[in-house]
Structures are given as structure tokens and as C-alpha cells.
């Protein structure tokens, strides 16, 4: 029995101990104390202490596995950073990257918003001065199984991966993770993510909201934060096409053919004229970085590799499903991450490796990407449900992303038909216009001027400022 199974079994036993309240006998307090010590010891086993190249920090961080299905042996890998200051007073935020098939550890944690960024040689880490753990306790999850270090011992699980499967496993993960970290069980909680996590995040939020009717399962979810999110297939496709045309990526003629022949609300790809015209859009985007229109492409190993990086996993339109979306912006960063996470000493420090055998880590899985079996055509109905439940919903968009462009998000929000409570206006950071924002009844939408798909890679200080405003529930600064 490997260490993952041993720890998972221990968690199961702890659940039994914590659910059934001991009878009031003289040593009951002592029994509870022993149980708490056992729980805390489970968390301490995941404490990261010797991560190669890590800058010195004053906060603790943990990495390891949570088994979400004992029968099939499904285990999800997480990396958790306590807040840099006053962790007991700050909320818990779960971050998810999309794909589907891409790693929240490889992207979010060590390219975008975590305290450590992988160095360009793949051999070390540098400190991120704009880490979101300045404002919250940050939990990064590699989900579903097959992503990064997450795995299943049952091969048929990989044939059933989809939105519902992912949401259910993420929900199970949270409850079992709280057994390792019981002090966060009643903590104010938010979910954030980007790209295809535009579907993951609302779907998980809806599941939590529905299950919260049972007090024993209650999670104090207050809101969601979504960056360049895939939201509604029809609106997303219209935005991709219109953005490519308005930014001179495609010709007037190609745009006209698509507008006249593509029914994005219906059976889009059965129309061959439409399909050929969309192919022309994708062809032109292959010449540049679709995730960042105005930056250089990476000329190196990653640009031509088959490791599942986003440059390899270009969108398709041969399915009625909306093509899936990767996270990240610089394909060279993908290469640095792959080198770092496939080191034996790194895997050992993160409690991944089992003996001398390395696990093969990739930043994205092409198999998951191509074989995804369940994708909601739109999560706008979930938005409406969450708004009705009183949850805070913020959506932001880097305005130089061609993959989930600002137009796609604007079209999707417009489809909600929400009343405007604060009209379109600039927001400022360090006395400069950072972007524009508009507030609706139940939703805030903001843009980042000059940022691509993974906004924190382009605007780290600005994105931290928006994150802070989101947590406080305050409007973005509209004066210099």
C-alpha cells in the first residue's frame, strides 16, 4: 500500500471520528484533543520544507494528495500557501486553471499568482512580489485526474472526464482537504480561475450552493472571480471572430463569409463554408500568439514540442463542443515549468515521488483535451442562479487575448440582461488607466489594458489590486 492510500485511509478514519460526537465521559476532552493532533499531523506530513531553489519566506506552504475516491484510487494533487501575514484572519481562495487538462500548479501557482515563479532555466524559483497570498490563503488544485500529478488507479476514469466529473471530484476534494486543515472549515471562501475554468468555477460554485442546504456540508462560499473565461459557446465564438477582424488578424472578406454562413447558436460546423472560413481564422492565429496578440512568440523547444502545451493544443471546430482553452501566455514558460517539475528533488520536496521513480509531469494533457466528454454549452444559467443566491461575481478580461477575447466576455455578459448600476468608466492603478469597468446588479466586469490571456503574467501589480478590491467587495478605484 503506497503512502497516498495510507494517508487517504487515515483521512477516512478521521472523518468517522469527527462526525460522531463522543459521549460526555470524563476524558472526552482528551479524546478530542488526540483526534485534533492526528488531524494536524496529516497536514504536517504535507508541509514543504526543502523545495529546491525556494526563496526564504515567513509563511508555510503544503503540497500533496487528497484521495477523492477510495474505490477507484482517484487522488488530486494540491499546493497550498498560507497568507503571507495574518493567515488566521484572511479568506481561503481556490484557484483553478482550465484546458481542460492544464495544471493550476504549472500555470497559476508558478507562472501567475503564487509566491514563487519558475526561473527561465527551470532550475530555481524567484519570489513574486505580487503574489495573491499577500491577501488570502491560496489553494491550487490540479484537476481533474490526469492533470499534472493528479491520477487515478482505475483507467476507465480517464474515459469519463468532463465538467460534471470534475466538479464532483473538486467538491469531494474540498471536504477531505478540510479534514487535513480543519481551521479552514468555516473560513470565508472564494473560487477563482481563468480560461476553461470559466466553466469549472461556476459549476463547482453551483454544486456548493446546492449542497449547502445540508448544514453538515456547509462551505462559506461568498463569490467567484473569473479571468478571460469561456462562458457561452455562441457568444464566445462570435467574440473570437469579431475580435480577429477588428484587430486586423483576418480580412473583411473572411469576416463577411463567417457572419453570413455561421450559425453559432445552432449546428455551426455542418456548414462547410462556415467551417472553412473559421479555419482561415485559426490559420492566421497560428502565425502569432493567439493568447497575446502583440508579444513575440517563443522560438525554442516548446513551440514545436508535443508535451501538451497550449501552442500544440490549438482549438478545433470539428465538434459541437466549444473548443477548450489553455491557461498561460508564454510557451517558453511552459518549458521552464516542465523542466522544474520533472526533477526528482522537486517531486520529493512536494511529496510526489514514490521512491526513485519519477512521475511524468506535463503542463497540459492533450489526451484530456481531445477526449473531453462533457462540456456545458453555457454557464450563464448558473450565473443567474449564483446572482440570485447573493454571491459576488467578478469577471475580468485582458484586452489583447484573441482566444477568449474581451468581446466574447462582453457578449456573454450582455446576454444576461442585467441592469447597469455603475456605467462604463476607467479604473486606475498607480495613477494610470489600468482598464475599464462596469458594475451590474449582481456582477462586476473589468478589463486590463494591454494584458493577454493570463492577466497576472502581464499585469502582476494591477491584478493584485483587482484581487484585493474583489475580496473587500469594493469598487475599483475610478480616480487617479
The torsion angle over the Cα atoms of residues 399, 402, 403 and 408, rounded to 10 degrees, is 60
**Is 453 among the residues known to form the active site?**
yes
- Write down the pTM of the prediction: 0.87
Among 163, 236, 335, 401, the one annotated catalytic: 401
Question: Given this model, what pLDDT does residue 336 score?
Answer: 83
Query: How does pLDDT run along the chain (480 residues), one tens digit per residue?
Result: 443 333 344 443 334 333 333 334 344 344 434 444 444 567 889 999 999 999 999 999 999 999 999 999 999 999 999 999 999 999 999 999 999 999 999 999 999 999 999 987 777 899 999 999 999 999 999 999 999 999 999 999 999 999 999 999 999 999 999 999 999 999 999 999 999 999 999 999 999 999 999 999 999 999 999 999 999 999 999 999 999 999 999 999 999 999 999 999 988 889 999 999 999 999 999 999 899 998 888 776 443 333 334 433 445 444 333 333 333 345 567 778 889 999 999 999 999 976 566 789 999 999 999 999 999 999 999 999 999 999 999 999 999 999 999 999 999 999 999 999 999 999 999 999 999 999 999 999 999 999 999 999 999 999 999 999 999 999 999 988
| Whole-angstrom distance, CA of residue 58 vs CA of residue 56 | 7
Find where cell 496529516 sits: 42
Q: How many CB atoms lie within 10 A of CB 144?
A: 30
- Integer angstrom CA distances of residue 339 from 333, 360, 412, 414: 10, 11, 38, 42
The structural domains of the chain, with segments of one domain joined by +, span: 1-45, 46-249+288-480
**Which pLDDT score, from 0 to 100, does residue 22 have?**
36
Q: What is the CATH number of domain 46-249+288-480?
A: 3.40.50.1820
Quick check: helix, strand or coil at residue 101? coil
- What backbone phi and psi angles, to 5 degrees, belong to 157? -60, -35
**Per annotation, catalytic residue among 103, 195, 365, 375:** 195
Q: Which of 61, 317, 351, 453 is catalytic?
A: 453
Q: What pLDDT is recorded for position 352? A: 94
Q: Is 195 a catalytic residue?
A: yes
The three-state (H, E, C) secondary structure of 34-91, written as one string: HHHHHHHHHHHHCECCCCCCCCCCCCCEEEEEEEEECCCCEEEEEEEECCCCCHHHCC
What pLDDT, on the 0 to 100 scale, is given for residue 121? 74
Q: Judge whether 397 counts as a catalytic residue.
A: no
Q: Cβ of 209: how many Cβ atoms within 10 Å?
A: 19
Amino acid at each position: 500500500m503506497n503512502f497516498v492510500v495510507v494517508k487517504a485511509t487515515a483521512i477516512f478514519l478521521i472523518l468517522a471520528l469527527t462526525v460522531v460526537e463522543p459521549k460526555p465521559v470524563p476524558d472526552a476532552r482528551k479524546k478530542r484533543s488526540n483526534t485534533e493532533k492526528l488531524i494536524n499531523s496529516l497536514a504536517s506530513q504535507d508541509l514543504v520544507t526543502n523545495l529546491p531553489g525556494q526563496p526564504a519566506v515567513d509563511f508555510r506552504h503544503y503540497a500533496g494528495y487528497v484521495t477523492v475516491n477510495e474505490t477507484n484510487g482517484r487522488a488530486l494533487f494540491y499546493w497550498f500557501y498560507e497568507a503571507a501575514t495574518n493567515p488566521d484572519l484572511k479568506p481561503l481562495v481556490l484557484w483553478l486553471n482550465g484546458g481542460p487538462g492544464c495544471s493550476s500548479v504549472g500555470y497559476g501557482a508558478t507562472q501567475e499568482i503564487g509566491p514563487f515563479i519558475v526561473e527561465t532555466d527551470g532550475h530555481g524559483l524567484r519570489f513574486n512580489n505580487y503574489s495573491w497570498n499577500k491577501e488570502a490563503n491560496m489553494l491550487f488544485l490540479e484537476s481533474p485526474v490526469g492533470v499534472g500529478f493528479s491520477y487515478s488507479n482505475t483507467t476507465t476514469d480517464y474515459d469519463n472526464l468532463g465538467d460534471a466529473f470534475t466538479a464532483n471530484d473538486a467538491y469531494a476534494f474540498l471536504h477531505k482537504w478540510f479534514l487535513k486543515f480543519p481551521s479552514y472549515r468555516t473560513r470565508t471562501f472564494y473560487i477563482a480561475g481563468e480560461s476553461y475554468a470559466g466553466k469549472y468555477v461556476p459549476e463547482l460554485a453551483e454544486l456548493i450552493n446546492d449542497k449547502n442546504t445540508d448544514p453538515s456540508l456547509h462551505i462559506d462560499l461568498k463569490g467567484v472571480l473569473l479571468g478571460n473565461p469561456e462562458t457561452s459557446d455562441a457568444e464566445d465564438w462570435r467574440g473570437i471572430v469579431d475580435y480577429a477582424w477588428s484587430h486586423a488578424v483576418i480580412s473583411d472578406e473572411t469576416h463577411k463569409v463567417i457572419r453570413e454562413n455561421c450559425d453559432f447558436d445552432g449546428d455551426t460546423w455542418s456548414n462547410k463554408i462556415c467551417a472553412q472560413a473559421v479555419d482561415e481564422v485559426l490559420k492566421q492565429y497560428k502565425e502569432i500568439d493567439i493568447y497575446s496578440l502583440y508579444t513575440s512568440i517563443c522560438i525554442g523547444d516548446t513551440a514545436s514540442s508535443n508535451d501538451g502545451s497550449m501552442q500544440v493544443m490549438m482549438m478545433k471546430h470539428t465538434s459541437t463542443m466549444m473548443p477548450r482553452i489553455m491557461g498561460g501566455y508564454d510557451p517558453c514558460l511552459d518549458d521552464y515549468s516542465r523542466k522544474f517539475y520533472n526533477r526528482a528533488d522537486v517531486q520529493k520536496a512536494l511529496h510526489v515521488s514514490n521512491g526513485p521513480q519519477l512521475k511524468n509531469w506535463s503542463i497540459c494533457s492533450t489526451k484530456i483535451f481531445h477526449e473531453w466528454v462533457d462540456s456545458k454549452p453555457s454557464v450563464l444559467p448558473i450565473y443567474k442562479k449564483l446572482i440570485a443566491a447573493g454571491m459576488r461575481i467578478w469577471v475580468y478580461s485582458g484586452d489583447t487575448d484573441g482566444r477568449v477575447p474581451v468581446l466574447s466576455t462582453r457578449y456573454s455578459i450582455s446576454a444576461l440582461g442585467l441592469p447597469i448600476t455603475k456605467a462604463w468608466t476607467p479604473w486606475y492603478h498607480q495613477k494610470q488607466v489600468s482598464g475599464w469597468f462596469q458594475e451590474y446588479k449582481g456582477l462586476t466586469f473589468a478589463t486590463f489594458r494591454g494584458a493577454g490571456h493570463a492577466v497576472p503574467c502581464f499585469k502582476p501589480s494591477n491584478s493584485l489590486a483587482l484581487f484585493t478590491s474583489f475580496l473587500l467587495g469594493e469598487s475599483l478605484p475610478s480616480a487617479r
